[in-house]
Structure 1
Amino acid sequence: MKINRTFLCLPLCLALFNNCTKEDKPTETPIAETNAPACQTPNESDNTYRTFFKPSVGWVGDPIPFYENGIFHLFYLYDARNTMPTFHPWYKVTTSDFETFTDTSEMIATGTANQQDGALGTGSVFKRNGIYYAFYTGHNGILDPKEKIMLATSTDLKNWTKDPSFLLQASWGYDRNEFRDPIVIEDKGTGTYKMLIATRSEVGLVSNSNVPWRAVIAQYSSSNLRDWTLEKPFYEDTTTFLTECPDVFTMGDYQYLIYSSIDDRMVHYKYRPLTSNTWITPINNKLDGIAFYAGKTVTDGTNRYITGWCPTKNKNSDAAIFDWAGSLVTHRLVQHPNGTLGIAIPNGVDNKFSVNEVLNAKIGFGTTKQGDAYTLKGNAAEKAFSVFDRETGAFKIKTHIKATSSTQFGFEFGACGTRNEVFAIVFDLAKNQLRLDKVIKNASSLNVTQLPLNIPANKEFDVTIISENSVCVIYINDEIAFTNRIYKMNQNPWAIFADNGEVTFSDLKIFK
């Protein structure tokens, strides 16, 4: 949930400060090979997002997904980016497959500038006895408390009526101004309902920790969804300021907790066997990079998906800091036998791109082509690469990578002209990292973001990349999703590369 536009931007501003020194402009030299394409600077405002949905006007904030009868109802905080004192009404878009979307516009309006819900925040939708309950955050920075939990109901998921008699504020010992993002789950063992709320607590309320305040997921119980009784906290965390947008669900023999850390701006998860009260933190507890936030999950009974937003950047510049809100991005969760989670592309998104386009290599070095296989051999003096023709709109790249001896390879976007400046998705086997780097020729690379990379013993990777305008998501081995916003990518060439040693990109294809 967005509670203060400046405050929520700070972690990203600080993290990317060194990369935000100037506006991003083409830096290609005017002299290049005759067949090397020049850089384009497309107008982002002209772009339409159909795969990574955004409304025709405005942007997608925190998603609140709900599934019923074959349809995913994706409520979200609508970000108009205007100067109105009220903001973030609940809007909704529907889909059956995450391939195509129907925008149904506003569902729950904001209150007035003086009311508790002058701004709406994240919440959840729950159905009981034919009634849909939307519990949401009412936020108003001029009030005390700033945040309370509020309620609207519906009989058809379309028409919503606010219930002014329902107001739940923080209990004693909890931070009354940081009290948001409610999720309701059913405790079938007791026949009651639990409401979990992101907040903070004082010393002694939860444990004997010497941390004066800590992030807590408060827990309330109810038998009727209207009268709520405080129980002991569901979860506490001394490593972050707030565990935003919590989500709790069960898959097989495990229970999962997903939350967005307000400090590192990433979506994390923990899990535990249903027979245990102790949370397990996996080695890689991140479900994407810094360009995917406020992830909440939903299941159709067969698959479970996590949906969040990829932020835009100020002034549509790669050199700028992230905004709040952006485009809707959805991944499919994959459960492993040991309880850990992997990330995969939703089938609907994968199947959307089925027409194989002809790859047109423009320039290259150190590359041998045999059919759809490209073997690159880099050396200490110069990396091997192949540059392919520019792409526009939405497309899919698929390939199987075999790292024979190279320890650093990947994909470049914005690889135009002399490739003086590119954004590189780097597989770094020496550091076990997957990175987005801004690479400037004859200068040090600037790391934008990174994730841990699990390296199989055979050093082989099945890779799918979905790109639409400035949004790029790479999926690897049904293990990793890496979402990024790269403005220079749109309408400019892309490339594959190897910094050292040999690597083969086999069955390299592009689909529209």
Structure 2
Amino acid sequence: MKINLKFLCLPLCFILFYNCSKDDKPERPTVITNAPPCQTVNELDRAYTIFFKPTVGWVGDPIPFYENGVFHIFYLHDARNTLPTFHPWYKVATTDFATFTGNSEMIATGTAIDQDGALGTGAIFKLNGIYYAFYTGHNGNLDPKEKIMLATSTDLKNWTKDTSFLLQASWGYDRNEFRDPIVIEDKSTGTYKMLIATRSEVGLVSDNTVPWRAVIAQYSSTNLRDWTLEKPFYEDTTTFITECPDVFIIGDYQYLIYSNIDDRMVHYKYRLLTSNTWINPINNKLDGVAFYAGKTVSDGIKRYISGWCPTKNKNSDATIFDWAGSLVTHRLVQHPNGTLGITIPDGVNNKFIINEALNPTIGFGTTKKGDAYTLTVNGAEKAFSVFDRKTGAFKIKAHVKATSSTQFGFEFGACETRNEVFAIVFDLVKNQLRLDKVIKNAASLNLTQLPLNVPANKEFDITIISENSVCVIYINDEIAFTNRIYKMNQNPWAIFADNGEVVFSNLKSFK
């Protein structure tokens, strides 16, 4: 009997929910039989190995320090208890930002009546075999609330507080907002500079029309113990305070990184070593709102930036961000014009080497050929392809070419009827990368966004690293976009296009 291959293809394609050819018009299935139901996972039961968190508590304000092949990540330990003292300094070590060892307390808090009843951010500096940890002593019941304090060590493990050292805000600076010191060496003068996040009043800086403004104060020393006030290193009239400042040099440029307390993002500026004028790049953000308190560290060849991805209250996507969360580290890339890009650390990228077979569960408007998925939108319905749930830590890679689509991306929590998903949206019209909460038959809710540089060829090399509820997407060695998405945890994910045609080639998953 002669078999009509045309009619044999139709039921098979309906089962797989794919087109047999690009010329066929797909029909949206009325019953989604293969889409798995959503799962709700207790976040507190999940272990983090890539995006480190301690077994008990969370990571706040990383303070990275490098020596002899090891990155020592000091951080403020957030126990989230009801004790009047909080945020002791802890430390964990890594060689690749993918495996962490030796988590333990380094500098304890003082008592409830001490200046350092709570510890704040600071920096590690080594001189003549001694490690100096300058940190913020914070006590909301005292005046001043904040002073700079010191602990020393000979082995990076055992620390002794130096009670003879206490630095408080000089006249004209805000004595209650005086924190986050870093120490850098000024080789041209043979001195050391301490930079401190604070606020200043009229008379200390250039613009006397603004009574108070964010300032990075500057002190100098020859011995790390006696400090003399100098002119401010930096001032900013657009924000309340520039937290967690960091300053470093790459090639011919000096860079300033700080966390903006108002928009909750990490920003940067740069300038030629021969200039006093800071350059504000078109995109001065180093990540989104789910990456904060970024500080950098270099092994002498590559420079990295570590921050924290905040949890959300009650572990719910519907609530606001907490303070502290999981450790996230990116690698900084310097472009020829001095601007910075961000990419995935080699150690994290190489952690995922086992290629997992993709298991599509349902699709619409999708043509599959090998590892390439072509999404074509005909009419009002978006094109998509849903893949089975992922567990633990995994990596997704793809090369995406927007042949005619201007809005496409990745969805997480794409289960059951897909009534609610969290979408990483590439918007080529607005030049935006967004996290949207998309509810069927309702307006999308934008949760956060970043500027997106759209290449002339409209092609994007994409790597996504996900672990439990933390998701980081890297694009073209230019952008890192970190987010906390609880619904992503152990639920299906998808690729989608809202209009036109887009090709996801070399789409692969690794564990």
Deviation per residue, 1:17-36 (Å, 9 max, x gap): xxxxxxxxxxxxxx952211
Cα pair 2:54 2:103 within 8 Å, conserved: no
What is the identity, as a one-letter code, of the residue corresponding to 1:127?
A: K
**Residue 208 of structure 1: how far off its partner (Å):** 3.0
- Tell me if 1:87 matches 2:71: no
Cα pair 1:77 1:91 within 8 Å, conserved: yes
- Greater CA drift, 350-359 or 33-42: 33-42
Give the distance between the partners of 2:491 and 2:51, measured in 1 at CA: 19
Q: TM-score, normalised by structure 2?
A: 0.94
> What corresponds to 1:20 in structure 2?
none
Matches for 1:113-512 after TM superposition, within 5 Å: 113-512=112-511
Q: TM-score, normalised by structure 1?
A: 0.94
- Greater CA drift, 100-109 or 400-409: 100-109
> What corresponds to 1:75 in structure 2?
74
> What corresponds to 1:13 in structure 2?
none
What is the identity, as a one-letter code, of the residue corresponding to 2:75?
A: Y
Cα pair 1:399 1:506 within 8 Å, conserved: yes
Matches for 1:45-84 after TM superposition, within 5 Å: 45-84=44-83
Deviation per residue, 1:41-83 (Å, 9 max, x gap): 1111110000000000000000000000000000000000000
Cα pair 1:271 1:339 within 8 Å, conserved: yes
What is the identity, as a one-letter code, of the residue corresponding to 1:281?
A: N
SS class of match (1:287):
coil
SS class of match (1:246):
strand
Q: CA RMSD in A?
A: 0.7
SS class of match (1:352):
coil
Max radius of gyration: which structure?
2
> What corresponds to 1:9 in structure 2?
none
> What corresponds to 2:11 in structure 1?
none
Give the distance between the partners of 2:430 and 2:290, measured in 1 at CA: 21
What is the identity, as a one-letter code, of the residue corresponding to 1:247?
A: D
SS class of match (2:350):
helix
Deviation per residue, 1:244-286 (Å, 9 max, x gap): 0000000000000000000000000000000000000000000
Give the distance between the partners of 1:164 and 1:209, measured in 2 at CA: 37
Moved over 2 A (4+): none
Cα pair 2:405 2:498 within 8 Å, conserved: yes
**Residue 308 of structure 1: how far off its partner (Å):** 0.2
Cα pair 2:59 2:78 within 8 Å, conserved: yes
Give the distance between the partners of 2:183 and 2:213, measured in 1 at CA: 22
> What corresponds to 2:13 in structure 1?
none
Give the distance between the partners of 1:40 and 1:99, measured in 2 at CA: 27
Give the distance between the partners of 1:284 and 1:163, measured in 2 at CA: 41
Query: Structure 2 unaligned runs (5+)?
Result: 1-29
Query: Structure 1 unaligned runs (5+)?
Result: 1-30
**Residue 172 of structure 1: how far off its partner (Å):** 0.1
Cα pair 1:465 1:472 within 8 Å, conserved: yes
**Residue 389 of structure 1: how far off its partner (Å):** 0.3
Cα pair 1:308 1:329 within 8 Å, conserved: yes
Cα pair 1:438 1:447 within 8 Å, conserved: yes
What is the identity, as a one-letter code, of the residue corresponding to 2:129?
A: G
Give the distance between the partners of 1:426 and 1:103, measured in 2 at CA: 38
State the percentage of identical aligned residues: 86
Cα pair 1:203 1:209 within 8 Å, conserved: yes
Give the distance between the partners of 2:207 and 2:489, measured in 1 at CA: 53
> What corresponds to 1:26 in structure 2?
none
SS class of match (2:126):
strand
Give the distance between the partners of 2:50 and 2:31, measured in 1 at CA: 35
**Residue 480 of structure 1: how far off its partner (Å):** 0.1
**Residue 380 of structure 1: how far off its partner (Å):** 3.9
Give the distance between the partners of 2:312 and 2:405, measured in 1 at CA: 33
Give the distance between the partners of 2:193 and 2:102, measured in 1 at CA: 31
**Residue 379 of structure 1: how far off its partner (Å):** 3.3
Cα pair 1:433 1:453 within 8 Å, conserved: yes
Give the distance between the partners of 1:46 and 1:129, measured in 2 at CA: 44
What is the identity, as a one-letter code, of the residue corresponding to 1:417?
A: E
Give the distance between the partners of 2:48 and 2:396, measured in 1 at CA: 18
Give the distance between the partners of 1:505 and 1:300, measured in 2 at CA: 35
SS class of match (1:171):
coil
What is the identity, as a one-letter code, of the residue corresponding to 1:208?
A: D
Deviation per residue, 1:197-217 (Å, 9 max, x gap): 000000121113311100000
SS class of match (1:349):
helix
SS class of match (1:200):
strand
Cα pair 1:379 1:499 within 8 Å, conserved: no
**Residue 418 of structure 1: how far off its partner (Å):** 1.1
Give the distance between the partners of 1:44 and 1:228, measured in 2 at CA: 45
Deviation per residue, 1:140-198 (Å, 9 max, x gap): 00000000000000000000000000000000000000000000000001110000000
What is the identity, as a one-letter code, of the residue corresponding to 2:400?
A: I
Give the distance between the partners of 1:33 and 1:400, measured in 2 at CA: 28
Cα pair 1:469 1:489 within 8 Å, conserved: yes
Deviation per residue, 1:420-468 (Å, 9 max, x gap): 1000000000000000000000000000000000000000000000000
Give the distance between the partners of 1:481 and 1:269, measured in 2 at CA: 14
> What corresponds to 2:97 in structure 1?
98
Cα pair 1:62 1:309 within 8 Å, conserved: yes
